[in-house]
Amino acid sequence: EVMGILDGRADLERELRRVLGLRAVRVVSGDLDENPEVKGDLGFTAARFLREVLRRGDVVAVTGGTTVAAVAARMPPVHPGNILVVPARGGVGERMEYQANTIAADLAERLRAEYLLFHVPDRLSEEAYRSLAGEPQIAEKLQLIRQASIVVHGIGQAIAMARRRRLPPEEIAVLEERGAVGEAFGYYFDRDGRIVYQQHTLGLGLGDLSGMRAVIAVAGGRGKAGAIAAVAKAVAPHMLVTDEGAAREILARY
């Protein structure tokens, strides 16, 4: 904390907490968009918080993405025992190392925990969604996932994320029209944190977050400022870990 005070980050944290109406915020120095090494610091800071809140018997859910992958990579060894790590949702057809399944397995190894894999496409037609949710094996896993007491999630820029998920151009046009700026858990949010678009996906839904002991959001880079603010308003995480680049930009805009 001394470092935070010396370079003014404690002030940034306080302001950001106030503007976004959050309980706790950590701001690491630098801007991920200018320095890729900042991702490691975001990961380390979120991992340290996770270590603080983790208790025996917890089910920990993780989303995909490069930032949450950095959390797993920087997790200090701690083994409270009887931990289960689960992916928050199915894959998004991303590179293997950034899929929630891979990150869950990686984090579990560091926590000497069990993990669960959930191999279901992230984007489903309504029909496929219904029939898959009815499959006993899938329903059983879903139930475990939805029991998560802690979740660590990334935040995406809406349009960039929609492209990464290969949404068809007409759907992307809908997102643009509705002013989508941020994405998390497959939901897309506008500037005020209102849901403007939602995918049919199996996994954690926004409603599942309300009962959790710790919702930990981690994202940085000036370019993600709007996305972070939108998701923070919608999700109201217990802890937001971000960087100076995003923090200053959010404060300039809100």
Which residues bind to ligand BG6, rule: CB under 6 A? 63-67, 92, 154-156, 161, 183-185
Residue 55 beta carbon to ligand BG6: minimum distance, rounded to whole angstroms: 25
Residue 83 beta carbon to ligand BG6: minimum distance, rounded to whole angstroms: 21
Cβ-closest position to ligand BG6: 65
CB atoms within 10 A of CB 207: 8
Residues contacting residue 43 through CB under 8 Å, at least 6 positions apart: 67, 69, 70, 71, 72, 73, 74, 218
Residue 15 beta carbon to ligand BG6: minimum distance, rounded to whole angstroms: 24
Please say whether the beta carbons of 152 and 71 come within 8 A.
Answer: yes
* Nearer residue to ligand BG6 within complex by CB, 65 or 226: 65
187 vs 231: CA distance, rounded Å: 9
* Nearer residue to ligand BG6 within complex by CB, 59 or 185: 185
Q: Where does the chain have alpha helices with state H? A: 2-6, 9-20, 38-53, 66-73, 100-110, 126-133, 136-145, 158-164, 169-177, 206-209, 225-235, 244-253
Residue 109 beta carbon to ligand BG6: minimum distance, rounded to whole angstroms: 20
Structure tokens at 18: 């106030």
* Nearer residue to ligand BG6 within complex by CB, 20 or 231: 231
Supply the DSSP string of 110-179, one letter for each residue. HTT-EE-----BSS--HHHHHHHHTSHHHHHHHHHHTT-SEEEE--EEHHHHHHHTT--HHHHHHHHHTT
Residue 183 beta carbon to ligand BG6: minimum distance, rounded to whole angstroms: 5
* Nearer residue to ligand BG6 within complex by CB, 22 or 188: 188
* Nearer residue to ligand BG6 within complex by CB, 15 or 33: 33
201 vs 10: CA distance, rounded Å: 38
* Nearer residue to ligand BG6 within complex by CB, 128 or 159: 159
Residue 29 beta carbon to ligand BG6: minimum distance, rounded to whole angstroms: 19
